[in-house]
């Protein structure tokens, strides 16, 4: 059973690799590390770092050394984080020392969420029904964005041979994503956010047309709904049970329903192409949620074309964790890996027992492993909570 913790490279550099490996192995009692190898901006409270208590990582950079020849002819190219250039290649050290540390090495790889690249290559961004770009979200239909994600993983796996690559954000992102100083005076509902996140860029319209789907008609309808949203004096739900129903709720507007269902194709095919291009020695897993249809992610289809799914069930009580994992397991092909992603944040969990109950519920519902979030963001004492959960699921 693979038990792992998501970890940032700066955590390893601040605390040193031997300390991190010992804490993960002996205190959290996990047997894997999931290291961020492509990541976005943010502000991170660092409770255990001896060097700092807040860290702002570079936006949209990678934490490994790419092979230049692999990127010839690729329009969108990554930037290596200054942290790697200045302080060393943490991933290389982990891979080389994995026999000594006893930790399976996973590469936590953010694919299409990249504001730095979106600003540099706006033609590759998702665009709403009015044509406005979402600079933080490259589009899975765009050929240059697809080539970037495929080459990124192919390069990473060929050069480093990690045990697993975890793909984050290979689909269409939502409109709300904690962008710097987001302003919303309307009061957007979940359905409004979804409508504003529907991409109608040129690549999507052309790819949908090739599949016999009229994206232009869908765009006209969605534009009218967004106008209605912006004209309302107060928020109002068009579909009260929006999140639960999935694409079926658009049955009364077949042009929109067809377009929403078509969105699974570019995301699933991108996952398949990433798997095909990656080194066969590395497994490819997709990070997902069980309402992934909102981002064009069909969990069952993605499991079929990759090696497994990590289902993020972060803030849920044990019974909801079990329900989500059981639903995912039932939808997935037999033999595919299914791990549950659990967060060790207060007040979502208040004790070692809380973490253990969630982890146990996930395993009993059919998960084959657990990923805990996040090594560097929690106090050292909560590593003991993870250790108790690790012991519980092994028992």
**What pLDDT, on the 0 to 100 scale, is given for residue 150?**
98
Pairing mode of beta strands 133-138, 125-127: antiparallel
The pLDDT, as a whole number, for residue 271 is 98
Answer with the residue of higher pLDDT: 290 or 318. 318
Name residue, tokens 């990923």. 371
Q: What is the pLDDT of residue 183?
A: 85
List the chain domain ranges: 2-172+263-394
Q: Does pLDDT of 255 surpass 80?
A: yes
240 pLDDT tier (thresholds 50, 70, 90): confident
What are the DSSP calls for 178-247, one per residue? --TT---SS---HHHHHHHH----HHHHHHHHHTT--HHHHHHHHHHHHHHHHH-SS---SSTTHHHHGG
The label of the residue with tokens 């909102």 reads: 294
- 12 has pLDDT over 90: yes
Percentage of the chain lying above the pLDDT 90 cut: 92
pLDDT band at 178 (very low <50, low <70, confident <90, very high): low
Q: Are 109 and 169 a contacting pair, CB within 8 Å?
A: no
Give pLDDT tens digits for 98-150.
Answer: 999 999 999 999 999 999 999 999 999 999 999 999 999 999 999 999 999 99
Q: What is the 3-state secondary structure (H, E, C) of 275-286?
A: HHHCCCCCEEEE
pLDDT at 179: 67
Cβ–Cβ under 8 Å, residues 257 and 134:
no
pLDDT above 90 for 245? no
Give me the pLDDT at residue 16, please: 96
Mean pLDDT throughout 284-296?
92
Question: Is the pLDDT at 170 greater than 70, yes or no?
Answer: yes
pLDDT of residue 21: 98
Please give the pLDDT value at position 47. Answer: 97
Give the per-residue pLDDT at 347: 95
- List Cβ neighbours of 119 (8 Å cut-off, separation of 6 or more): 135
- C-alpha closest to that of 123 among 93, 144, 148, 96: 144
* Mean pLDDT for all residues in the chain: 96
- The answer, yes or no, to whether residue 175 has pLDDT greater than 90, is no
With a pLDDT cut of 70, the percent of the chain lying above it is: 99
Confidence label for 177 from pLDDT (cuts 50, 70 and 90): confident
Termini Cα distance of the chain:
11
Task: Give, as one character, the DSSP assignment of residue 132.
Answer: -
Alpha-carbon gap, residue 124 to 126, rounded angstroms? 7
Architecture of domain 2-172+263-394: Alpha-Beta Barrel (3.20)
Work out the average pLDDT over 363-371. Answer: 98
* pTM for the model: 0.97
Distance, CA of 29 to CA of 384 (rounded, Å): 9
CB atoms within 10 A of CB 17: 17
CA-CA distance, 60 to 222, in Å (whole number)?
Answer: 30
């Amino acid at each position: 059973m693979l038990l792992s913790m998501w970890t940032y490279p700066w955590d390893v550099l601040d605390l040193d690799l031997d300390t991190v490996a010992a804490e993960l192995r002996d205190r959290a009692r996990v047997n894997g590390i999931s290291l961020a190898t492509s990541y976005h901006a943010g502000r991170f409270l660092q409770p255990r770092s001896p060097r700092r208590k807040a860290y702002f990582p570079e936006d949209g950079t990678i934490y490994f050394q790419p092979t230049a020849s692999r990127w010839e002819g690729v329009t969108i190219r990554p930037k290596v984080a200054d942290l790697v250039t200045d302080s060393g290649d943490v991933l290389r050290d982990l891979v080389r020392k994995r026999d000594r540390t006893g930790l399976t090495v996973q590469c936590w790889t953010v694919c299409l969420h990249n504001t730095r690249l979106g600003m540099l290559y706006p033609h590759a961004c998702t665009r709403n029904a009015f044509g406005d770009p979402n600079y933080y979200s490259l589009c899975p239909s765009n050929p240059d964005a697809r080539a970037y994600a495929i080459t990124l993983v192919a390069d990473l796996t060929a050069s480093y041979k990690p045990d697993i690559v975890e793909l984050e954000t290979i689909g269409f992102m939502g409109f709300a994503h904690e962008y710097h100083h987001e302003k919303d005076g309307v009061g957007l509902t979940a359905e409004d956010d979804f409508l504003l996140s529907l991409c109608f860029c040129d690549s999507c319209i052309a790819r949908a047309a090739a599949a016999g789907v009229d994206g232009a008609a869908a765009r006209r309808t969605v534009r009218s709904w967004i106008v209605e949203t912006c004209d309302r004096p107060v928020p109002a739900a068009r579909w009260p049970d929006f999140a639960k129903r999935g694409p079926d709720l658009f049955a009364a507007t077949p042009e929109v329903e067809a377009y929403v269902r078509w969105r699974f194709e570019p995301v699933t095919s991108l996952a398949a192409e990433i798997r095909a291009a990656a080194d066969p020695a590395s497994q490819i897993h997709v990070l997902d949620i069980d309402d992934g249809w909102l981002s064009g992610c069909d969990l069952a289809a993605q499991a079929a074309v990759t090696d497994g799914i990590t289902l993020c069930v972060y803030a849920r009580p044990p019974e909801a964790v079990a329900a989500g994992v059981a639903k995912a397991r039932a939808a997935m092909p037999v033999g595919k890996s299914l791990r549950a992603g659990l967060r060790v944040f207060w007040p979502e969990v208040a004790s070692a027992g809380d973490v253990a109950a969630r982890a146990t519920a996930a395993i009993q519902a059919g998960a084959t492993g657990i990923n805990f979030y996040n090594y560097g963001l929690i106090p050292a004492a909560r590593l003991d909570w993870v250790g108790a959960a690790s012991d519980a699921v092994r028992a």
